[in-house]
Copies of this chain bind each other. A is one copy, B any other.
Amino acid sequence: MKPMLASALTLAVTFTVSAGALAQTASPLSAQDSNPETMGWMQGFPPAADKTIRFTDPDFFTFPKLRWTVCHFRQLMPNVGVSKGSAGARPLPLALDPGLDSVRFTPLGADTTMTWNEAFAANYTDGILVLHHGRVVYERYDGCLKPDGLHAVMSVTKSIAGLLGEMLVAEGKLDDAALVGSIIPELKDSAFGDATVRQVMDMTTALAYSEDADLRTYSMAGSPLPKPKDYTGPRSYFEYLQTVKKAGTHGEAFAYKTINADALGWLIARSSGQSVAELFSERIWSRIGAEREAFFTADSIGTPFAGGGFNVSLRDLARLGQLMLDEGRVGSEQIVPAAAIARIRNGGEAALFANAGYTRLPGWSYGGQWWVSNDEHGAYAARGVYGQTIWVDPKADMVIVRLASYPVAANAANDPTSLPAYRAVAEYLMANDGAPLAR
């Protein structure tokens, strides 16, 4: 395989790895030993040849190199900006609580406990921030990430597309009962043609697409790199989607397939007249008081990768989580209809999720491209491979955002040292509760 194909393939594999694809890396380097600064990646002008990472390297997004790459997608591939407008950042009030580091929890399936502090390195965390009552109670960085740096959020991107989709639905601009083919005629003869918008948003479409067999074609279509001379396949995400065939009946099972997010991105663009990046900037990013301009990686025609291309600072990801927790409000301004957030919190159909094989996520569902725990806190999440997370806990009035570069892609690998930790911190904060901050 040519290097450029291999790298595109690697990228897509890691963007889209499914629940069942939990690969095991034999004794990977520790978080400390794999720290990109320790490894020496891309230091100096120029970096040493054996410390150089290029987009065309077949392993540019494989551990441990990925620990550098997650912070540097912009310099590796084309992308589109998400402007935050010309206003300054909205302050995130600080109320740091050193007590969090001592919070103990029992990892899933473990006999012994672990502290929040120990989980930081165990999860190869690049940055984690906890908001309680809208105040920063914990904020910590490592690896390639700095407070003003950007980091890939991988499939958290899908939840951003889902939020935009639910917003358009709540505003009556996108009919979630409509057939996709009625909105995008180019998709009429594809698997998506007779699926409803809702089925795409909840990933209950029946698609003849597997991350294994069809990945190469999908990756080639979305890659911004030149195609081989004899290439005749699809040359963009939109072209690829037109080739997808149906397998089974829509609406009968949840199946996590990235191409649903790309189809939703197309639905958003067609119904709003703006790309996912443009709509997100105009409706949300320029109105939540973001600190940094964010970006989406893009295919060769500038389509933002709705399935996994968003890159953002940790604090700004926290602002997005707080927007969810505040049911679409920023201060006194309702920037997203509360009905859109309510729909996301409500989740998808748990019965359709149950057979999808997520043993770490019993009782959960997936709806509007968000993961909903259905626990007694009403917690829900945006999740991306290698540990990217927005965790919203309405009962605890808490948001946790985490950016990470775990050696294994599928989150089933880090869920044991993550999910119970989130809950333990929520309970700690509720037990030590102060007065909520007016907002």
Residues of A within 8 A of B (CB): 2-4, 42, 45-47, 52, 54-56, 72, 74-81, 83, 85-89, 148, 150, 224-227, 229, 236, 238-239, 266, 269-270, 275, 291-293, 298, 300-303
Contact = CB atoms under 8 A, between A and B. Distances in A.
Contacts of A3: 226
Contact of A72 (B75, B239, B302): B302
Nearest to A88: B88
Given A54-B300, A87-B88, A77 B78 contact: yes
15 contacts: A2-B229, A45-B266, A46-B303, A55-B78, A55-B300, A56-B226, A56-B300, A75-B80, A76-B78, A76-B302, A79-B79, A85-B148, A225-B225, A225-B226, A226-B226
A61 B301 CA distance: 15
A54 B77 CA distance: 14
A406 B197 CA distance: 45
Given A72-B302, A224-B55, A270 B77 contact: no
A79 B74 contact: yes
A331 to B, nearest CB: 16
A45 B302 contact: no
Given A74-B80, A293-B292, A238 B46 contact: yes
A226 B293 contact: no
Given A55-B224, A86-B88, A86-B292, A302 B79 contact: no
A47 to B, nearest CB: 7
Contacts of A81: 74, 150, 293
Contacts of A226: 2-4, 56, 225-226
Contacts of A275: 45
A144 to B, nearest CB: 13
Given A2-B226, A45-B303, A74-B81, 6 more contacts: A3-B226, A42-B302, A56-B300, A81-B150, A83-B148, A86-B292
Contact of A75 (B52, B56, B79, B269): B79
